[in-house]
């Protein structure tokens, strides 16, 4: 894809806090549901079965939202790779790069929201770091950015020390509020409320804008702070937003846990005239049915609160791709 | 914001109206504050009659949550009643129905909180 091609966003890990896997019981429920619905149908070829799943079976039954923790790729069309966060989804991404394009000669630009474990745990399993001809540039606003990655590799947590990684790995400290030109994108970071702080990123190329805003609590006590986020989301084509909790949870038993809700994401997008809201950093307790319900409810909320502009509502899943 | 209070013995019914959003919630919070001071054990119960509220945003819901927390800390009880269908949907989607006392009508709310207040309410 040429560098002037449309921006695309690909999700490699969409789960919050900790990776999860479907249980055998969940898989069995999906199979039983699909088989019962297909009873009596002529589904005797893979093509017919696939068409049946695609056309007549709900996503929550035919597929899964997945369970890897945060990792999102901005596909720019240039040779370098651009990522947000290195949760367990980074392992799958790294394997995909190796399978498609070989093990060496790659450059990766990674923007870190913060260094909590679920956002860095994919790094030791990100195979490109073990090939000398690769370059990994890790950007972030935290003073402890490099130290966190090094400590994760230290004994007794991991058998390969950071000093043994053969790729060229560089850490680049960014200042929030300042605009940078990196990998063909204009990038600006914004401080967010989260334990130990987190940072959102606004990426722009030509007239296309993607905002990555995860692990952020919005108490909305300070209306000036709220307006700051409205401006950060302003006219975005896509806002990837932490919607781990319901608003009731976020304002009661899980207050100060550092996460937000679907309704706050929607309201910020409505006020900012953003085009799409993508629910992200899914609650690990939520199975596919619950996440599908969250998506349906958020779409309904958008319908009943819509002003003169519509916000398209999406829910991220591992493997999802969005063209902007 | 005008809350047009009505007292029924130990229960005060307040009736905000219009939209409870980022532009009105601070006024709503300020107007509610004096009533919350006496929403305590052995003092008043409060019911918010939301029949006149056409929309509530997350900021408005947060005002309700803070009021509920204050009431709980003081040993008092606050509830909301008579939600318009769209507002009821917002309560359902945000799960506020699971953390606040939500009553179908003001009368049913009063009946749950205070039998003496119900008698006074029915007498009006």
Tell me if chain B has a CB within 8 Å of the CB of A262.
yes
Q: Is A80 exposed, middle or buried (0-12, 13-18, 19+ CB in 10 A)?
A: middle
- Which of A219, A249, A251 to probe the B interface (max B CBs under 10 A)? A251
Nearest CA among B36, B106, B115, B28 for reference residue B78: B36
3-state secondary structure of B1: coil
Lowest pLDDT segment from A63-67, A83-87, A177-181, A221-225: A221-225
What would the mean pLDDT of A56-76 be, rounded to a whole number? Answer: 97
pLDDT at residue A266, as a whole number: 98
pLDDT at residue A1, as a whole number: 47
Percent of chain B with pLDDT over 70: 100
What would the mean pLDDT of B100-106 be, rounded to a whole number? Answer: 98
What would the mean pLDDT of A229-254 be, rounded to a whole number? Answer: 97
Tell me if chain B has a CB within 8 Å of the CB of A230.
no
Percent of chain A with pLDDT over 70: 99
Q: Is B44 exposed, middle or buried (0-12, 13-18, 19+ CB in 10 A)?
A: buried
A137-160, pLDDT tens digit by residue?
A: 999 999 999 999 999 999 999 999
Nearest CA in chain B to A264: B58
- Cα torsion A50, A51, A56, A60 to 10°: value is 30
The gap from C-alpha A72 to its chain's centroid, in whole angstroms, comes to: 5
In angstroms, the Cα distances linking B105 to A97, A167, B123 are 60, 66, 17
Band of residue A5 on the pLDDT scale cut at 50, 70, 90: confident
Query: What's the CA gap between A15 and A67, in Å, rounded?
Result: 6
Region of residue A276 (left: phi > 0; alpha: psi -120 to 50; beta: else): beta
pLDDT at residue A101, as a whole number: 97
For residue A305, which residues of chain B lie inside 8 Å, CB to CB?
Answer: 55, 90
Largest CA distance in chain B: 38
Point out the residue among A219, A247, A301 whose CB comes nearest to the CB of B96.
A247
Position A243 pLDDT exceeds 80: yes
Query: What's the CA gap between A324 and A85, in Å, rounded?
Result: 20
How much is the pTM?
Answer: 0.96
| Residue B29 structure tokens | 């919070």
| B58 to A261: CB separation less than 8 angstroms, yes or no | yes
| A246 to B94: CB separation less than 8 angstroms, yes or no | yes
Phi/psi of residue A214, each to 5°?
-120, 165
pLDDT at residue A4, as a whole number: 61
Between vectors from CA A218 to CA A213 and to CA A219, what angle results, nearest 5°? 175
Position A3 pLDDT exceeds 60: no
Instruction: Answer yes or no: are the C-beta atoms of A102 and A83 closer than 8 Å.
Output: no
In a domain, B76, yes or no: yes
3-state secondary structure of A125: helix
Percent of chain A with pLDDT over 90: 97
How is chain A split into domains, by residue range?
A: 8-22+64-323, 24-61
* Backbone CA torsion sign across A289, A293, A299, A300: positive
B43-84, pLDDT tens digit by residue?
A: 999 999 999 999 999 999 999 999 999 999 999 999 999 999
Instruction: Answer yes or no: are the C-beta atoms of A94 and A126 closer than 8 Å.
Output: yes
The minimum CA-CA distance between B117 and chain A, rounded to whole Å, is 29
| B61 to A251: CB separation less than 8 angstroms, yes or no | yes
| A298 to B93: CB separation less than 8 angstroms, yes or no | yes
Indicate the number of domains in chain B: 1
pLDDT at residue A223, as a whole number: 87
Instruction: Answer yes or no: are the C-beta atoms of A13 and A88 closer than 8 Å.
Output: yes
- Which of B94, B96, B99, B100 to probe the A interface (max A CBs under 10 A)? B94
Nearest CA among A280, A284, A271 for reference residue A313: A280
CATH number of B27's domain: 3.30.750.24
Pinpoint the alpha helices (H) of chain A.
24-37, 46-56, 59-62, 89-101, 117-120, 145-153, 223-233, 247-250, 262-272, 288-305
ipTM of predicted assembly, 2 dp: 0.93
In angstroms, the Cα distances linking B99 to A246, B79, B91 are 11, 10, 10
A172-211, pLDDT tens digit by residue?
A: 999 999 999 999 999 999 999 999 999 999 999 999 999 9
What would the mean pLDDT of B35-42 be, rounded to a whole number? Answer: 96
| B96 to A249: CB separation less than 8 angstroms, yes or no | no
- Topology of domain A8-22+64-323, CATH: Metallo-beta-lactamase; Chain A (3.60.15)
Nearest CA among B96, B100, B95 for reference residue B68: B100
Measured between alpha carbons, how far apart are the two ends of chain B, in Å?
Answer: 25
Print the domain residue range for B21: 6-113
| Residue A107 structure tokens | 């450059």
| A263 to B58: CB separation less than 8 angstroms, yes or no | yes
Query: What's the CA gap between B29 and B36, in Å, rounded?
Result: 10
Sheet holding A185-192, edge to edge: A179-182, A185-192, A198-205, A208-213, A238-242, A276-280, A312-315
In a domain, B75, yes or no: yes
Position A247 pLDDT exceeds 80: yes
């Amino acid at each position: 894809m040429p560098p002037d091609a449309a921006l695309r966003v690909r999700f490699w890990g969409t789960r919050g806090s900790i990776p999860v896997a479907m249980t055998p019981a969940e898989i069995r429920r999906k199979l039983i549901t699909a088989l019962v619905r297909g009873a009596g149908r002529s589904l005797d070829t893979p093509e017919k079965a696939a068409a049946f799943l695609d056309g007549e079976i709900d996503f929550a039954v035919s597929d899964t939202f997945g369970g890897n923790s945060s990792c999102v790729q901005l596909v720019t069309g240039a040779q370098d790779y651009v990522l947000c966060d290195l949760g367990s989804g980074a392992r799958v991404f790294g394997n995909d790069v190796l399978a498609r394009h070989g093990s060496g000669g790659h450059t990766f630009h990674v923007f870190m929201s913060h260094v909590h474990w679920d956002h860095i745990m994919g790094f030791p399993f990100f195979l490109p770091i073990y090939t000398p001809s690769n370059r990994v540039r890790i950007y972030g606003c935290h003073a402890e950015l490099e130290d966190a990655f090094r400590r994760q590799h230290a004994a007794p947590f991991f058998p390969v020390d950071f000093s043994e990684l053969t790729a060229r790995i560089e850490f680049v400290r960014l200042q929030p509020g300042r605009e940078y030109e990196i990998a063909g994108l204009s990038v600006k970071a914004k401080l967010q409320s989260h334990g130990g702080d987190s940072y959102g990123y606004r990426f722009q190329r030509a007239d296309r804008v993607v905002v990555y805003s995860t692990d952020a609590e919005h108490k909305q006590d300070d209306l000036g702070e709220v307006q700051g986020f409205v401006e950060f989301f302003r006219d975005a084509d896509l806002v990837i937003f932490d919607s781990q909790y319901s608003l009731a949870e976020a304002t009661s038993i899980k207050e100060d846990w550092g996460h937000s809700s679907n309704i706050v994401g929607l309201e910020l997008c409505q006020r900012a005239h953003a085009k799409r809201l993508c629910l992200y950093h899914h609650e690990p307790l939520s199975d596919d049915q619950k996440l599908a319900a969250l998506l349906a409810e958020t779409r309904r909320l958008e319908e009943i609160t819509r002003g003169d502009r519509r916000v398209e509502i999406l829910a991220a899943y591992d493997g999802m791709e969005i063209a902007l | 914001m005008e809350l047009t209070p009505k007292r029924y013995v130990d229960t005060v019914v307040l009736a905000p109206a219009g939209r409870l959003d980022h532009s009105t919630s601070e006024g709503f919070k300020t107007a509610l504050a004096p009533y919350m001071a006496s929403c305590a054990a052995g003092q008043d119960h409060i019911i918010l009659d939301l029949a006149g509220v056409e929309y509530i945003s997350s900021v408005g819901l947060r005002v309700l949550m803070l009021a509920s927390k204050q009431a709980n800390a003081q040993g008092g009880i606050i509830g909301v009643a008579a939600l318009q269908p769209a507002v009821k949907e917002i309560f359902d989607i945000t799960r506020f129905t699971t953390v606040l006392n939500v009553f179908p009508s003001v009368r049913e709310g009063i009946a749950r909180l205070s039998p003496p207040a119900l008698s006074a309410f029915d007498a009006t």
